[in-house]
């Protein structure tokens, strides 16, 4: 998407269009589980670009490539903007859909879910993605009467959460992390570098400047391992 000026709308260093309404929204990045604070820059209500929020305590203005590319979720041609229903007469999996209204979508869901709940609620399975709404969706599933509910995190990070509970007392990195302000030695074993990257970059940088020793155990020496004192 481009503006009527010569500069692309999504160029963060381009001058704003004269007379265009500029607005900045403060929110949280959802491109990974780190949940960095971001600023979303709008021009006449259209998303221009995303940068880090310097006032956010987690990432302190730092943003990674994944976070800044969150704009692609807004303008992706594959983004769903309305309910779709499989077109009558087509086979399941053919990928042929037709748009329907929200009223029709909710009416269809209400009818089908009511039939399942009245006969055998356990026939209903609920699976959600990485939205961190499991407390709400899990409550809905239990009230509905089915034990068959899960989410991305249940398959991805339950083992990690259990390990963190037993070691540092917290289940996820959003709510805690290594106490590098008081540590003298930091050992990192097989950490995925696309998660919690910005806060950890900041913390490791300060840790090394303060004289801390950093050991990385990883088969590949990239990212964090590249700056380790011992790999």
Q: Where are the domains of the chain?
A: 1-78, 80-89+96-119, 173-227
Pairing of strands 149-151, 126-128: parallel
Residues 6+ apart with CB under 8 A from 111: none
Confidence band (pLDDT; 50, 70, 90) for 3? very low
pLDDT the model gives residue 173: 58
Q: What is the pLDDT of residue 52?
A: 95
Enter the CATH code of domain 1-78: 2.20.25.90
Q: How many CB atoms lie within 10 A of CB 34?
A: 22
Contacts of 9 (CB under 8 A, 6+ apart): 1, 2, 3, 43, 46, 48
The answer to whether 40 and 52 are in contact (CB under 8 A) is: no
User: Which residues pair with residue 27 across a beta bridge?
Assistant: 38
Pairwise pLDDT comparison (2 vs 217), residue with the higher score: 217
Band of pLDDT at residue 50, cut at 50, 70 and 90: very high
Average pLDDT over residues 78-82: 90
């Amino acid at each position: 998407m481009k503006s009527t000026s010569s500069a692309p709308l999504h160029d963060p260093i381009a001058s704003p269009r004269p007379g265009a309404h500029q607005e900045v929204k403060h929110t949280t990045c959802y491109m990974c589980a780190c949940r960095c604070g971001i600023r979303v820059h709008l021009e006449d209500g259209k998303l221009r670009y995303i940068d880090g929020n310097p006032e956010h305590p987690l990432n302190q203005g730092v943003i990674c490539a994944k976070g800044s590319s969150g704009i692609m979720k807004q303008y992706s041609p594959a983004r769903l903007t309305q309910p779709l229903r499989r077109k009558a007469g087509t086979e399941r999996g053919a990928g042929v859909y037709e748009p329907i209204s929200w009223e029709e979508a909710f009416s269809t869901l209400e009818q089908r879910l009511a039939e399942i709940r009245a006969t055998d609620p356990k026939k209903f399975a609920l699976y959600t993605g990485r939205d961190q709404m499991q407390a709400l969706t899990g409550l809905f599933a239990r009230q509905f009467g089915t034990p068959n509910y899960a989410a991305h995190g249940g398959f991805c990070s339950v083992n990690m959460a259990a390990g963190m509970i037993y070691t540092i007392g917290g289940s996820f990195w959003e709510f805690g992390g290594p106490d590098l302000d008081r540590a003298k030695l930091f050992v990192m074993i097989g950490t995925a570098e696309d998660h919690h990257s910005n806060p950890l970059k900041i913390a490791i940088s300060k840790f090394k400047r303060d004289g801390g020793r950093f050991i990385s155990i990883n088969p590949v020496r990239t990212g964090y391992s590249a700056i380790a004192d011992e790999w």
